[in-house]
Structure 1
Amino acid sequence: MTFAWPLALLLLPLPLLFWRYQKTVEDNTQAPIYVPGASQWQLGNAQVSGRVSSAAQAKWIMIFMIASWICFIVALARPQWVGDPIPLPAQGHDLLLAVDLSGSMDLEDMVYQNKRLNRLNTVKLVVRDFLKERQGDRVGLVVFGDAAFIHTPVTRDLESVSKLLMEAQVEMAGPNTAIGDAIIKSTDVLRDQPEEARIMVLLTDGANTAGEIQPLPAAEIAAKNGIKIYTIGIGADSMTRSSLFGLFNNTVNPSKDLDEKTLKAIAKTTSGLYFRAKNPEQLESIYQKINELEPIDQDEQFIHPVKEWFYWPLAVCFALYLLAFSIKYFDQIAERFNRFTSPQASRDGGNQ
């Protein structure tokens, strides 16, 4: 617990200073000076209905009044409970991941941590780690095959984006590759976001084979909307395949359909860069490079939740004051109550 206005606690001894000053004035004065109401709370001098209160009454009155004053000053100092610091979201980028789910993404030409994986599963694992370093960004996910679909809207909930990416399946959007449609769909999403940093990461392993618009005209539209596109071509450049019964092996290029020329042109048109990922290690380094090119450089800020507690001592203050008031004027209140009820009692007795 802490106090918002701790200097208010310096007022605690104020009644004591007033009492000592009043006592000094009384000692230096030959004749008494009567000030109406000035000594109504002094110990032993409380007057109720023309009679002197008992010493016990005056003692309790003084105790309650002192406690009431202490509670009032504590409330004035504004006691607060301050919680643990909560990080505020950093002002990062509006980042959209466009991931190819065409049939060729099922090709197992990637080795990740000594395990052979298909291209999509490799992308899932690498992007999952990439998202962990993008706290502060607003990230969305577009998947594309025969057409492009918004799989996750732009959000700060990166854990949900990662989870939905892990649930994506090859050919979920169709077996073909609509790169142009993916760019247009991403542009539709990002154009509604603030203009400071609209970033798109487009990952594919092939060429545009479907969709209603070609990639380069789509890239021009993206550029006009202030969107920077980083393109990534994924796929090994050689893979050994076994023939019938494993007697003969042949080496093939599994990435022969990758349209690097178009991917480079897309990146250039939108002031981005093109990267080639032939293995998982290169893909990891590419995403790390994107982290360096688009850093979240704002210092992390925190907020402390604050809960006010001043109303508790203030309520106790009023309760104690009412107790002191009740003790002081109890006899007077009782007497007035009896006066009010006595005529009524007399009339009731006469009617019987």
Structure 2
Amino acid sequence: MLDLQWPWALLLIPLPFIFWWFRKPNSANATAVYWRHSALLENPAHTQRTSTNKLSAVLLYLAWLALVLAIARPTWLGNATHIPPTGRDLLIALDLSGSMQITDMTLNDRPADRLSAAKEALAQFIKARRGDRIGIIVFGSKAYLQAPLSYDLDTINQLVQESQIGFAGEQTAIGDAIGLGIKRLEEQPADQKVLILMTDGANTAGRVSPLQAANFAAKEGVTIHTIGIGAEQMTVQGFFGPKVINPSSDLDEPLLTNIAELTSGRYFRARSTEELHQVYDILDQLEPTPSDDVLQRPKTSLFHWLGILALMLFSLAMICTGKLAFKLKGRA
């Protein structure tokens, strides 16, 4: 589709005709002028001169038309393309400590360990975050960046699914994971810094205190949502028969609550796979992404092509006029 940025310039198209009309002499008041080569009008050269003048006039007008169109700044608009909306930058810190292998969750009505349930819930959450940049931090005894912030959600999800218990050690360095998240988000706008931290235990390793890291995150404008994962009851086979235990006795809920409150986030408790899905549904609402795609049309400016065309036509008109003048001079 053709679009003109300055369509008012088209009003200049008839300007040569207007100028010619007002400059045309009135035959009643015309004054005879002596021309010593008037005899040329009576031979075939006169016809050639008239034809050449007409051709020059046509070329000059076409040059003027191309120039006016160039002034109107025509732009060719291509087909509309959908641009995904730009949302938030989300970092997900996933606990890979040894306790994440406890089988107190279910998947498809079958027993599953905590990490498998976390992967399944994260897969759906990541898939729904179209337009966000998502990164993955894994932590155990130490914290590592598994995947930097990226719009490639398929690759991010694949890296999550490839994570295994023990990759980062057997202990839990919550403070180091928060510190690494702050570092990766420090250059992002304040309203886009979000860290989701999921763990099933307490801080047992690392060089940074979780509360110190949380206070620094609050100063940097990083919002931290914390998730405590793990069931509260589990039946195990003991020496005297089955007994019920609390597999989440090591979960430091007060710490996770304080981290969330200090950074204007929320703490969630996920005792089952169903509750974990509900948590991520709530996070989807707390950290929404733009719902509408952005339509963009590629623009190609035609200004320079019309300018070149006008110059070529003007040059041709000058060449024709010059050849005629040269022939008439030769005949004289």
TM-score interval (norm. to shorter): 0.7 to 0.9
CA displacement at 1:331 relative to structure 2:
4.4
Alpha-carbon distance in 1 for matches of 2:163, 2:310: 63
RMSD: 3.5
Alpha-carbon distance in 1 for matches of 2:212, 2:64: 77
Q: Which amino acid aligns with 1:32?
A: T
Alpha-carbon distance in 1 for matches of 2:317, 2:66: 14
Q: How do 1:315-334 residues align onto structure 2 when only pairs under 5 Å count?
A: 315-333=308-326
Q: 1:110 aligns with which of 100, 105, 129?
A: 105
Alpha-carbon distance in 2 for matches of 1:126, 1:227: 23
Residue in structure 2 matched with residue 8 of structure 1 by the alignment: 9
Residue in structure 2 matched with residue 32 of structure 1 by the alignment: 31
Residue in structure 1 matched with residue 36 of structure 2 by the alignment: none
Residue in structure 1 matched with residue 96 of structure 2 by the alignment: 101
Residue in structure 2 matched with residue 226 of structure 1 by the alignment: 221
The answer to whether the 8 A contact 2:85-2:291 is kept is no
CA displacement at 1:145 relative to structure 2:
0.8
- Confirm or deny that 1:308 pairs with 2:296: no
The answer to whether the 8 A contact 2:104-2:113 is kept is yes
Residue in structure 2 matched with residue 184 of structure 1 by the alignment: 179
Name the SS for the 1:232 alignment partner: strand
CA displacement at 1:199 relative to structure 2:
2.5
CA displacement at 1:89 relative to structure 2:
5.5
Name the SS for the 1:75 alignment partner: helix
Residue in structure 1 matched with residue 250 of structure 2 by the alignment: 257
The answer to whether the 8 A contact 1:205-1:235 is kept is yes
Residue in structure 2 matched with residue 71 of structure 1 by the alignment: 66
The answer to whether the 8 A contact 2:141-2:206 is kept is yes
TM-score (norm 2): 0.79
Name the SS for the 1:329 alignment partner: helix
Shift in CA distance, 69/105, structure 1 to aligned 2, threshold 3 Å: same
Residue in structure 2 matched with residue 345 of structure 1 by the alignment: none
Q: How do 1:273-284 residues align onto structure 2 when only pairs under 5 Å count?
A: 273-284=266-277
Q: Which amino acid aligns with 2:26?
A: E
Q: How do 1:35-50 residues align onto structure 2 when only pairs under 5 Å count?
A: none
The answer to whether the 8 A contact 2:85-2:290 is kept is no
Name the SS for the 2:274 alignment partner: helix
Q: 2:283 aligns with which of 282, 285, 290?
A: 290
Name the SS for the 2:168 alignment partner: coil
CA displacement at 1:146 relative to structure 2:
1.1
Alpha-carbon distance in 1 for matches of 2:56, 2:316: 8
CA displacement at 1:53 relative to structure 2:
5.7
Shift in CA distance, 113/63, structure 1 to aligned 2, threshold 3 Å: farther
Cα deviation, 1:168-212, whole Å, max 9, x if unaligned, reads: 222111122111221222233334434345322110112223223
Q: How do 1:123-272 residues align onto structure 2 when only pairs under 5 Å count?
A: 123-135=118-130, 137-155=132-150, 157-239=152-234, 252-272=245-265
Shift in CA distance, 260/80, structure 1 to aligned 2, threshold 3 Å: same
Alpha-carbon distance in 1 for matches of 2:94, 2:82: 33
Q: Which amino acid aligns with 2:20?
A: W
Bigger Cα displacement from structure 2, 108-117 vs 222-231: 108-117
Residue in structure 2 matched with residue 18 of structure 1 by the alignment: 19
Name the SS for the 1:57 alignment partner: helix
Name the SS for the 2:250 alignment partner: coil
CA displacement at 1:135 relative to structure 2:
4.7
Q: Which amino acid aligns with 2:7?
A: P
Shift in CA distance, 196/320, structure 1 to aligned 2, threshold 3 Å: same
Gaps of 5+ in 1: 35-45, 338-352
Alpha-carbon distance in 2 for matches of 1:304, 1:74: 22
Q: Which amino acid aligns with 2:147?
A: T
Alpha-carbon distance in 1 for matches of 2:273, 2:121: 8
Bigger Cα displacement from structure 2, 184-193 vs 314-323: 184-193
TM-score (norm 1): 0.75
Shift in CA distance, 71/218, structure 1 to aligned 2, threshold 3 Å: closer
Cα deviation, 1:97-135, whole Å, max 9, x if unaligned, reads: 211011232344433455654332332332233334445
Bigger Cα displacement from structure 2, 1-10 vs 222-231: 222-231
Alpha-carbon distance in 2 for matches of 1:238, 1:226: 37
The answer to whether the 8 A contact 1:93-1:138 is kept is yes
Gaps of 5+ in 2: 34-39
The answer to whether the 8 A contact 1:26-1:32 is kept is no
Residue in structure 2 matched with residue 341 of structure 1 by the alignment: none
Alpha-carbon distance in 2 for matches of 1:318, 1:213: 71
Q: Which amino acid aligns with 2:123?
A: R
How many residue pairs get matched?
317
Alpha-carbon distance in 2 for matches of 1:279, 1:336: 102
CA displacement at 1:214 relative to structure 2:
3.8
Cα deviation, 1:205-258, whole Å, max 9, x if unaligned, reads: 122232234433433333344333211011233445679xxxx86655433332
The answer to whether the 8 A contact 2:85-2:292 is kept is no
CA displacement at 1:150 relative to structure 2:
1.9
